[in-house]
Structure 1
C-alpha cells in the first residue's frame, strides 16, 4: 500500500547516498602557477597569508626596503586586530595588493562536522557566502581596494565551495610552492624550499606570526632569488592557471 506524501525507497536511498558522498568528499588544495607569456620568463609571485594573530613587521619592512611586491591575503579578523599593520600596507599599495582571506578564517568546506586540519568548516552555503563577502567588505572598508581573489583558510576546498566562490565573482588563488608550512618551518628549511623556485611559481607564506622564522628565512631566500634574476609580481598584475594535483616542492 502506498501512502500519500511518502517517497519511494530508491529516492530516499539516493538522497542518503548523495549526503554521504558529500560528507566523504576529500577537500583538495588548488595548485596554480602564473600564465607564462613571451618574454616574461622568471616572473614569480609571493603571496602572504594574514590569518589571525599579529603583524610581522620585520618581513613587511624587508619587502619594502628591497622593493619586492607581494599579494596579501587578509582576514577581517586580522585586519580588526592590526591597525598599525594596515597603516603600513596602505602606505605602500604600490607594492602590496590586498585580497580576501575570509571573515573569520573558516575553511571552504561545507557540511556539519567537516574539518580541515582540525578546523571546523562551514555548516552550509549561507555561512560560506558570509565568510567570503564579509572578508571582502572589510578589505574595501579598511584598505580601500576591491578584492578579486579569494584564498580560503587552510587553502583547501570542496567542489561545492569552489563553485560558489566562483559564482560570487572571485578567482581562487592557489599556489605552487609552500615556503613556510603555515609559519612552522625553521629558517634553514624555508631557504631550502625557496631554492626550488621556478619561473611561474606562486609562493605561499605567512605574515601573521612574527615569533616564527618566516621573516628571517624568507628574507635570506628572497634575496637569493633576486640575485638569480627572478622578478616578483602581484596577482592583480597577472593571470594564473591551475596545474595538475601533485606533491608540492
Structure 2
C-alpha cells in the first residue's frame, strides 16, 4: 500500500484531464487610448450562413458607416453577390473570420451551445479557425486578424488556443438584434443605450428579419448624437467586467 501511494504521487500516474470550463461570452469595449472622450463605436455584423441582407449593406454604404464583417466560409461560398458588394467597398468593410462551418468554440464530445454542437477536440477547433481564415484570405486577398466563434461563447481551452494561433477574439458590449430575432422597435430601443466605446453585434445574413430596418433607424440616431463609427482593425479592445451570459443567442444560423 505504501509503495502504491509513493508511485501514484510521482510521474508514473497519468495526469487527469482538467474538467471543461463553462462556456462564457467575451464582453469588450473599445480601449479609449488617447481619445479621452472615446466617442468611437464599432459596428460588427455576423454572416453565419444563410443569405445576404442587401438592404442593410446598401444603407451602410449610402451613409458611409464602416463595419467589421465576421463571415463564415459557408456564407462566402453561398453568397457571391454579397461578397462582391463587400469587396467593392473595402474602404468601409473589414472582413474577418467567423469560422469554416459556424461551430461553437467549446471543446468536448457532446458539448453544445444553444443546441449547436461544439468541437470534439482541439484539432477540429484549429481546422474551424484556420479554414475560415483561409477562405477570407482567398476571397479578399487580406488575411484576417480577428476571430469570433459561433454563438460568441468560448470555453477557456478554446479561447486560449485561438489566441495562441495569433487571432484576437472579438467580443461585444451591445447585442443589437439577438440573432436577428428582434423587431425594428426592439432593435432601436437597444441602440438608444449605446455609448462611446461600445462594440455592437448584429447580423447581415437574414434579410427576412427586421435587422436592416432597426439598424438603419438606430444608427442614424447615433450619428446625430456625434458618435463616430470605426472598424476593429482601427482600434484596440479591452475586456469589461464579467457579466451574466445573455439568455438569448447573439448568433444563429
Match of residue 58, structure 1, among 44, 55, 66? 55
1:126 aligns with 2:119: no
Residue in 1 that maps onto 2:24: 28
Write the mapping of 1:154-193 to structure 2, written as runs, cut at 5 A: 154-193=151-190
CA contact (8 A) 1:176 1:248 kept: no
Q: Distance in 2 between matches of 1:54 and 1:123?
A: 28
What's the offset of the Cα at 1:26? 1.2
Residue in 1 that maps onto 2:191: 194
Helix, strand or coil: the match of 2:50? Answer: coil
For residues 183-204 of structure 1, the C-alpha deviation after alignment (integer angstroms, 9 at most, x for no partner) is: 0001000000000001100000
1:80 aligns with 2:77: yes
Q: Distance in 1 between matches of 2:154 and 2:189?
A: 28
Write the mapping of 1:11-160 to structure 2, written as runs, cut at 5 A: 15=16, 18=17, 21-22=19-20, 25-39=21-35, 41-160=38-157
User: Which 4+ runs in 1 deviate beyond 4 A?
Assistant: 7-14
Unaligned runs of at least 5 residues, structure 2: 247-253
Report the RMSD for the aligned CA atoms in angstroms: 2.2
Q: Distance in 2 between matches of 1:144 and 1:215?
A: 28
Q: Distance in 2 between matches of 1:189 and 1:9?
A: 58
CA contact (8 A) 2:25 2:245 kept: no
Q: 1:248 to 1:37 in 2, by over 3 A?
A: farther
Residue in 2 that maps onto 1:223: 220
In the superposition, the TM-score normalised over structure 2's length comes to: 0.90
What's the offset of the Cα at 1:156? 0.2
Q: Distance in 2 between matches of 1:190 and 1:96?
A: 22
What's the offset of the Cα at 1:246? 1.8
CA contact (8 A) 2:24 2:245 kept: no
Unaligned runs of at least 5 residues, structure 1: none
In the superposition, the TM-score normalised over structure 1's length comes to: 0.92
What's the offset of the Cα at 1:145? 1.2
